[in-house]
Amino acid sequence: MTTTTKKLLNRWLFTTNSCGSTLMCALLCRTISMWVEPDETDHIPLGSCIEPTERHLHRAPHVQGKKVFLYRQLPSQIGAYMQLGQTNLRKRTEDWITILKTMKRANDIIWIESNDFFRDVRGTIDTVTDHFEIPPVKDINWANHNVKLFVEQGLTYAPIQLPKAPEGVGTYTAEDGIIDPDAAMSIPRIAALVDEMREKYPSLREYM
């Protein structure tokens, strides 16, 4: 009788800018070793979950393991760029296009839109853990607080560690991260850029 051992692989969380990845990482670290934007990944033990830095997103089609892509629709993404005070919106939008093209070439990947995540944290995180084939996240109360104040990013030599979330509901919750794409399109600068990209990249229109 021949037995086979399932190969141990990492999981990957690929993201666009300001899309809710900090919250998703904070939830996932309760059930898997979660590495947030490490400078390098070669030293990370297999079986971990990694959120790569933006400069490593090009690896998505090449790395092994199950993947999640968390992104914003283009009007909401440009709105997020504006909230962050970024001024070169055309370049950032072209970067967003490049990221989506890259994710289209990746396998074993599910796509999650940020507003869907913010509206239904429990349902979304269950979808993610099912896809990753890891234990479920029992406590999602970090969704009721501004988790960015607690997650340190760019730790190259350690996964993130968070205490249990505070009780109750804070002043900033997951739903505050929603950016309505229709409202964003009411801003002429956003609408003009989105319309241009829809014309230029019709294969990505459903994400715009």
* CB 117, CB 74: distance < 8 Å: no
- Contacts by 33-36 with C-beta closer than 8 Å and gap 24+? 33/159, 34/159, 34/160, 35/155, 35/159, 35/160, 36/151, 36/152, 36/153, 36/154, 36/155, 36/159, 36/160
What is the predicted pLDDT for the residue at 6? 66
Q: How far apart are CA 207 and CA 204, in angstroms?
A: 6
| Long-range contacts from 55-63, C-beta under 8 angstroms, 24+ separation | 57/14, 57/99, 57/102, 58/102, 60/12, 60/14, 60/102, 60/103, 60/105, 60/106, 60/109, 61/102, 61/105, 61/106, 61/107, 63/10, 63/12
| 3-class secondary structure per residue, 103-138 | HHCCCCEEEEEHHHHHHCHHHHHHHHHHHHCCCCCC
pLDDT digits (tens, 9 = 90+) for 137-194: 999 999 999 888 777 665 666 787 888 888 888 888 999 999 999 999 999 999 999 9
Instruction: Summarize the confidence of residues 118-145 as an average pLDDT.
Output: 96
pLDDT (mean) for 68-90? 95
* Local structure of residue 94 (DSSP, 8 states): H
For CA atoms 125, 78, 17, 199, the dihedral sign is positive
| Residue 4 pLDDT greater than 70, yes or no | no
* Distance of alpha carbon 30 from alpha carbon 90, whole angstroms: 37
Summarised one tens digit per residue, pLDDT across range 7-54 is 789 999 999 988 999 999 999 999 999 999 988 888 899 999 999 998
Note the pTM of the prediction, 2 decimals.
0.91
Please, which residues have CB within 8 angstroms of residue 3's CB and are 6 or more apart in sequence?
Answer: none
User: In the predicted model, is pLDDT for residue 109 greater than 60?
Assistant: yes
Mean pLDDT across 80-92: 92
- Is pLDDT above 70 for 88? yes
Q: Check pLDDT > 80 for residue 204.
A: yes
